[in-house]
Structure 1
Amino acid sequence: MHIGVLEDDLDQQAFIEQCLVSADHQVSLFSRASELRRATQEERFDFLIIDWRLPDGCGMDVVGHLRQNDGWRGPILFVTASQNEDDVVHALEQGADDFLAKPLRPKELIARVSALGRRAGYDTPRPAISCPSVFSINTEEHSISIADTSVALTEREYQLATLFFSKVGELLTRAHLLELIWGIKGSVSTRTVDTHVSRLRRKLELDGRHGLRLRSIYQSGYRMEISSPAISDQ
C-alpha cells in the first residue's frame, strides 16, 4: 500500500518509515497538516497514519477535515501519546479507524496496518516485484531465505536488507542509513554501516549470482542493482 504518514517528530518519522518499508509498503512522510492535505489532492494514498499533536494543527481536526470536507474514504490509523479514553473516543468519532498509543511497537504497528488494509480490501503486501523470486522475505518472522534456505541475520541486518530490497536502483547514502537503521544523525563515523553492509552482502550473496548486486558507490553510499546471474561454463 502507499501510506501517507503525518508526524512532525523526525525520529518517529524514521521509525515508522522503517517499520512500514520492512513490510513492503511505499511511504510518503509529512511534517505539517497542510502538506498532507495538499498531497491527498495531488496523489493517491491507500492508507494514512496521523499523529495527534502537530505544529500547525491537531491531528483530530485533520482526520475530521479529510473525512467531512475532502471525502477521503481510506483507512486512517491515529497515533497519540495520550492514554485518555475521551481523546481516543473523540479521534474515532472524528473518523479514525483505529488508534495506537506511543511508544509504538514495530510488530503491532505492522499488524494494525495489515489488518486495516485487509478490511479495506487490500492484499497482504508482498516483496517488491523487482526482487528476484529466489529471495523470500518473511515479514512476520523477520527472516530472509535464498532458494528456500533460511539465512541467519541479526535484526539490524534484516532491517538493512528489507530497506535495500524495497529501493532497488536507488542510492542510499551512509548518513541516510545511519538515521533510518541506527537512529543516529549528524557527522559520525560510517564504519559501522560499511561493516554491516559488507556482512549482509556476504550472507545474502548479493554479488550478482542471484540477480541482485549490492554496490558500493564511492564517497556516497550503496545501491542495490538488478544484474544478470552469471552462467557457468558447461
Structure 2
Amino acid sequence: MDKRKILIVDDDIYICELIEMYLKKEGYKVCVAYDGVSVIEKFKEETPSLVILDIMLPKMDGWDVCREIKKISNVPIIMLTAKGDTFDKVLGLKLGADDYIVKPFEPRELIARVEAVLRRMGEKPVTTRSIILPNLSIDTDLYRVKINDKIIVLPPKEMELLYFLVKNKNIVFTREQLIENIWGFDFEGDIRTIDVHIKRIRKKLESLKNQYSIQTIWGVGYKFEVKNNA
C-alpha cells in the first residue's frame, strides 16, 4: 500500500481535477476512476491508502463499490455525494465508510477530513508542516517562528493562523473560513477573535513589512501578501 496515494472516484471530471489539485498541493499522490465498474481494478492496481468515493456513479453506484472494496480491504473510504439525507449517511457508515461529505464542499474541509481519517487509521498525513520564505520560517511541528534568524514566540492559535495564511498566500479568507480552519466548525466564541489575533501577528511581523503583510480586504476578510521584493 502506498501511504501517500489517494484514489478519487467521481464521474464529474471537474470535481476530480479540483480534488486532485488540492491533494497534490498537500503532497499526496492521486489516481482517478470515473465509473463504478473500473474502480475495483484501479484499486487493486494502485493500492491507495484512502478512497474518496462518489455515490452517484455510472455502471455501479457508490454503495456497491463500497461493499466490494470492503470485501477485500480495510482501506478507509470517504463518501462524496450531492445528497444530504440522514439515510444516505447512515447507510454509508453501515457499509463501512469512514466519513461522509456533502457537495458542494470546501476543498480544505475535504483535505482536513482526509487527514483526520488517516490519523484515525494510524497513518501519518503527508502534509508538510513547515514553510521557509526569505527572512521568515514557520515550523508548526516545533511551534517555532524565525524572523530574520531570530526565534519569535507565538501562542498556538497565532502560530496556526499565521501558518494557514502564509501557506495560502495571496488568497483572501473570510473570518468565518479562518475560524473553521483554525478553531473548528464547533467554535462558539466571538468571530472578532480573528481580528485580535491578526493585530498581534502583524505587530510581530513589523520588521518584515517591506516583504510581507497581512492585508485587510474590507467587507471580505484577510490575506497574507508577499510583496514583489520578497
TM-score, with length taken from structure 2: 0.57
CA distance, structure 1, for counterparts of residue 99 and residue 34 of structure 2: 21
Which residue pairs with 1:84 in the alignment?
85
How large is the RMSD of aligned CA atoms in angstroms? 3.1
Please identify, of 29-38 and 4-13, the stretch whose mean Cα deviation from structure 2 is larger: 29-38
CA distance, structure 1, for counterparts of residue 36 and residue 17 of structure 2: 18
1:16 lines up with 2:19 in the alignment: yes
Which residue pairs with 2:50 in the alignment?
47
- SS at 1:86 equivalent: helix
Which residue pairs with 1:60 in the alignment?
63
* Residues 2, 47 of structure 1: 8 Å contact kept: yes
Which residue pairs with 2:166 in the alignment?
143
1:164-218 deviation digits (Å, cap 9, x = unpaired): xxxxxxxxxxxxxxxxxxxxxxxxxxxxxxxxxxxx9x778xxxxxxxxxxxxxx
Aligned residues: 151
Gaps of 5+ in 2: 141-159, 173-225
1:33 offset after TM fit, Å? Answer: 1.7
CA distance, structure 1, for counterparts of residue 62 and residue 103 of structure 2: 14
TM-score, with length taken from structure 1: 0.56
Query: Which letter maps to 1:56?
Result: K
Query: Which letter maps to 1:91?
Result: G
- Mapping of residues 215-234 of structure 1, within 5 Å: none
- SS at 2:115 equivalent: helix
Match of 1:25 among 25, 28, 45: 28
- SS at 1:56 equivalent: coil
- Mapping of residues 1-234 of structure 1, within 5 Å: 1-68=4-71, 71-127=72-128, 141=164, 143-144=166-167, 153-155=169-171
1:101-123 deviation digits (Å, cap 9, x = unpaired): 11011221111000000111111
Bigger RCO (CA 8 Å, 6+ sep): 1
CA distance, structure 1, for counterparts of residue 24 and residue 61 of structure 2: 26
Which residue pairs with 1:215 in the alignment?
none
CA distance, structure 2, for counterparts of residue 203 and residue 56 of structure 1: 54
1:39 offset after TM fit, Å? Answer: 1.5
Query: Which letter maps to 2:70?
Result: R
Query: Which letter maps to 2:125?
Result: T
Seen in structure 2, the aligned counterparts of structure 1 residues 132 and 142 have a Cα distance that, compared at 3 Å, is: closer
4+ residue runs over 6 A deviation:
131-140
Identity %: 27
Gaps of 5+ in 1: 145-151, 157-199, 205-234
Seen in structure 2, the aligned counterparts of structure 1 residues 133 and 119 have a Cα distance that, compared at 3 Å, is: farther
